[in-house]
Amino acid sequence: MWGPKQTECCMNYTDHVLKTGNLKDTLKDIRTLEKVLEETEVNGSMQLYVKTFVALLHKPSGPFGGLEIYANDTKVTPDVPLLNSKVIVQLPRELSAGPNNKIVFCMFKWPETNKVKSVERPHEVYDQRLVGLSVQDKNISGLQERINITMEFTKDIDETQKPSCQFFNYSTYTFSEDGCLTYWTRGQTNITCSCNHLTYFGILIVRLGSFIM
C-alpha cells in the first residue's frame, strides 16, 4: 500500500514527465500513477492536488448506491456540490464497488507543449483536459447504466465544428468515440459525455464530416 506523501511524489513526477517527456513515457507514467492511486491507503474519501493533477480516492463503506463527483482545477469532493465545478461525474450503482474496490477519479491538463502529436490524427482536446476513472481490481466496460461526465464548455466553435466525447485508446494511441454518446446543443455552456466504460475521457473539437480513427 502507498501512503499519501508517496502518492503525491508520484503525482509530482508524473506532472514533470507530462510536461517534458515523449508520448510513450507520458502515457506509461499516467497508467503507473493510476495503479498507485488505486493502491493508496485510504479510509472513506481522500482528495489529492498536485500542480496539474487533482484526484479523489473513494472507498465505499457498504453496498454501492452510486456516487457523484464534483471537481475544479484545485479541489474535488464526493456527493457535495463544489463552487465553480469544471466537471461533474455521475457513477451508477452498477459499478458494484465495495470496500476492496477503491474508486479513483483523476483530472489533469495535457500541456500545450506535449499534445498527442505522435498520434496518427492529432485533434484539439478542449481545454487540454482529460478525466480518468477506474475501479481497483475491476475492468469496467459494457455498462447498462451509463457513466455521465458533465464538463464546462465555453469554447466558441463555428458551424463546421462540433464537440465529441471520446476516450483515449491505449492500444492504438488514438482517441475513439466507441461506447460514448455526446449530449450538447449549440450555445450550451456544458456538455455531457455518457459512456459505458471507464478510462480517460476528453472532449475533442472535430470538423463536421471528418472521420475519427
Q: In this predicted structure, which of 31-40, 73-82, 118-127, 175-184 has the lowest mean pLDDT?
A: 118-127
Domain count, the chain: 1
Q: Residue 212 domain-assigned?
A: no
SS3 sequence, 155-206?
A: CCCCCCEEEEEEEEECCCCEEECCCEEEECCCCCCEEEEEECCCCEEEEEEE
Give Cα separations from 176 to 60, 134, 212 (angstroms).
Answer: 31, 18, 7
Taking the C-alpha atoms of residue 197 and residue 30, their distance in angstroms, rounded to an integer, is 18
pLDDT of residue 165 exceeding 70, the answer is: yes
pLDDT of residue 38 exceeding 70, the answer is: yes
Separation of CA 108 from chain center: 8
Q: Residue 170 domain-assigned?
A: yes
Across residues 110-116, what is the average pLDDT?
56
pTM: 0.89
> What pLDDT band is residue 210 in, cutting at 50, 70 and 90?
low
Domain enclosing residue 153, as ranges:
4-207
Across residues 8-20, what is the average pLDDT?
90
Q: Residue 213 domain-assigned?
A: no
pLDDT, one tens digit per residue, over 51-78 is 889 999 999 988 899 999 999 999 999 9
CATH number, domain containing residue 67: 2.60.220.50
Q: Residue 39 domain-assigned?
A: yes
